[in-house]
Amino acid sequence: MAQTTKQYQIIQKVSTSDSLLLHPETDADIVLYDNTESALTATNTKTAIDEVATQIKSITDGGVVTGVKGDFELEYRKGQVNITANDIGAESSGTVDEHNTNLSAHSDIRGLVSNAQGKAESAYAIAEGRQKAGVFKTVSDMTTVLKTAGSTAYKVGDNLYIKDIDVPDYWISAVLETNIGTYGYYEISRLETAKVDLTDYQTITDSAFSTTDKTVSGAVNEVKATADSAKNSAIANVSDIANIINGTTKVPKAAAADFATSSTTASNAGKWTTARTIEVSVNSGLKSDGSAISGTGSQSIDGSVDKNISINLGDSGITEGTYSAIEVNSKGIAVAGGQMIEIGAWGQVMPSASLATGGLFFKVI
C-alpha cells in the first residue's frame, strides 16, 4: 500500500475566534536536540547546525591537522598513520588473550562471582514475590520433609507454617551446599509474627457494649434473644398483613367507606362523572443556544381503567451522528457535539465549525 507524506502545522482551537499554534514544523529552533553524545552545547536543531557550521569553518580556515602520534611516540607522523597498542602504551592483543584464558588467574574471582550470583538469584526471587509456603502439622513433620527435600525444593524467604498453636512458624533463611544440617540443605529461622490466640476473648468484659451482659458470649446471646422475639412477632403478624393486602380485613377508614350513602364514595362509583385530561411537562434543561428542551404527554382519565401517560422528549438541538466530543447539560442530555481532531485540506487556513473547542487542527503546509 502506497503511503503519502505531508507536512502539517498543529493548531489548537481556543474559541470560535481564537486559535493557538502548537507545533510549527518550519521553525527548527523549537525542535529539541539531545546533545548528550555530540558534546555540543545546543539544545535545538537550529543552534546545533549553527554550532557545527562554526566548528567546520574554524577547520577550513586554517585549523588543519598536520600530524598524528601516539602518547608513547616522540614525533608526529603524517599521511596514512597506523596507531598500534605500543604507540599508546597499551598491552598487545596476544597478552590480553593469554591473561583471559588463564584459569588460575581468575579462579578466585569466578568463585566469588558464582557465590554472589547464587545470593543475587535468591534475593531476586524474593523481590519478585516467588517465595512459597509449606504447611506442616508439627515441627517434627517439617523436619522430616526438609531433611529429605532436594536443594532446589525451597528458596530463601519461603515460609514454613506449623498448625500447632503453641509453636512458632518458620522461614527458610539459607540454602546450604550439602545435606549436612539438621534440616538437610536448609537453615530455618522463626517468623517474627506471633500466633494470635483469641480463646479467652469471649470471656472478657467490655463496658462499651450496649447490652445488659458485657461479655462477648453474653452479649451475643442477648442479641439473639431479642432477634428471636422480633422474628416470632413478625411471624404472628404475617396472616393479619396478608388479609389487609387481599382485602379480607379492612382498615377502619376503608370499612366506613362501604357504608357511605353519597354517590361519590369509592364503593359505589364505577367511574368519574366527568373525565379529566392529565398533562405532564418535563423540563430537561437548555440547548446550547439557550432554548429549552422539554417533554410533554397527556391522557384522558375517567377513573374506570388504568391509564399510562407516554412522554415525548423534545430534540436536544444536536444533529444525529457520531462525535468525539459532546457537551451535556445538567440533565445529562447531549446538546452539542464536535470532533477533537480535523485534518485540513490543501489551502484550508482555519478549522471548520465541526471542530470542538480545545480540538486540534492539522494545517497542510
**Range of 150's domain?**
110-190
CA-CA-CA-CA dihedral for 133, 135, 136, 139, to nearest 10: 40
State yes or no: pLDDT of 69 exceeds 70. Answer: yes
Q: Which three cell numbers stand for residue 13?
A: 482551537
Q: Which residue has the higher pLDDT, 95 or 352?
A: 352
Same-domain pairing of 205 and 155: no
d(CA 319, CA 316): 9
d(CA 30, CA 50): 14
Residue 203 Cα distances to 225, 226, 326, angstroms: 19, 21, 63
Same-domain pairing of 116 and 181: yes
pLDDT winner (highest mean) among 141-145, 246-250, 312-316: 141-145
Q: What would the pLDDT profile of 127-152 be if each residue is shown by its tens digit?
A: 555 567 889 989 999 999 999 999 88
Q: Which residue has the higher pLDDT, 224 or 127?
A: 224
Lowest mean pLDDT among 75-79, 321-325, 353-357: 321-325
Q: Find the mean pLDDT for residues 218-236.
A: 84
CA neighbours closer than 13 Å in the CB half-sphere of residue 201: 4
Q: Which three cell numbers stand for residue 154?
A: 525451597
Whether 86 is in a domain gets the answer no
With H, G, I as helix, E, B as strand and everything else as coil, classify residue 281.
Answer: strand
pLDDT at position 141: 92
Whether 174 is in a domain gets the answer yes
Same-domain pairing of 243 and 213: yes
DSSP labels, 316-340: -SPPSS--SEEEE-TTS-EEEEEEE
Same-domain pairing of 254 and 309: no
Same-domain pairing of 117 and 149: yes
CA-CA-CA-CA dihedral for 21, 26, 27, 30, to nearest 10: 70
State yes or no: pLDDT of 19 exceeds 70. Answer: yes
Whether 49 is in a domain gets the answer no
d(CA 319, CA 359): 19
Q: Which residue has the higher pLDDT, 90 or 148?
A: 148
State yes or no: pLDDT of 310 exceeds 90. Answer: no
pLDDT at position 171: 92
Same-domain pairing of 170 and 209: no
State yes or no: pLDDT of 263 exceeds 60. Answer: no
Question: b/e per residue, 33-50, with b = 16+ CB within 10 A?
Answer: beeeeeebebeeeebbee
Whether 129 is in a domain gets the answer yes
Same-domain pairing of 238 and 285: no
Q: Which three cell numbers stand for residue 99?
A: 591473561
- Domain count within the chain: 3
Same-domain pairing of 261 and 297: no
Q: Which of 244, 269, 294 is the last residue of a domain?
A: 269
Same-domain pairing of 208 and 252: yes
d(CA 301, CA 313): 22
Q: Find the mean pLDDT for residues 38-44.
A: 87
d(CA 173, CA 119): 12
Lowest mean pLDDT among 120-124, 177-181, 189-193, 317-321: 120-124
Choose among 141, 150, 157: nearest CA to 184: 150
pLDDT at position 257: 58
CA neighbours closer than 13 Å in the CB half-sphere of residue 153: 14
Q: Which residue has the higher pLDDT, 235 or 176?
A: 176
Same-domain pairing of 249 and 303: no
Q: Which residue has the higher pLDDT, 191 or 107?
A: 191
Q: Which of 167, 190, 213 is the last residue of a domain?
A: 190
Pairing of strands 355-364, 334-343: parallel
d(CA 16, CA 358): 10
Residue 95 Cα distances to 86, 104, 153, angstroms: 12, 15, 45
Choose among 185, 117, 130: nearest CA to 153: 185
Whether 148 is in a domain gets the answer yes
pLDDT at position 82: 86
Same-domain pairing of 185 and 114: yes
Q: Which of 269, 293, 326 is the last residue of a domain?
A: 269
pLDDT at position 235: 82
d(CA 61, CA 63): 6
Q: What would the pLDDT profile of 339-357 be if each residue is shown by its tens digit?
A: 888 888 888 888 988 888 8
Q: Note if the pTM is more than 0.75.
A: no
Same-domain pairing of 206 and 261: yes
Instruction: Order across the sheet with 312-313: list the strands.
Output: 276-286, 292-301, 312-313
State yes or no: pLDDT of 265 exceeds 70. Answer: no
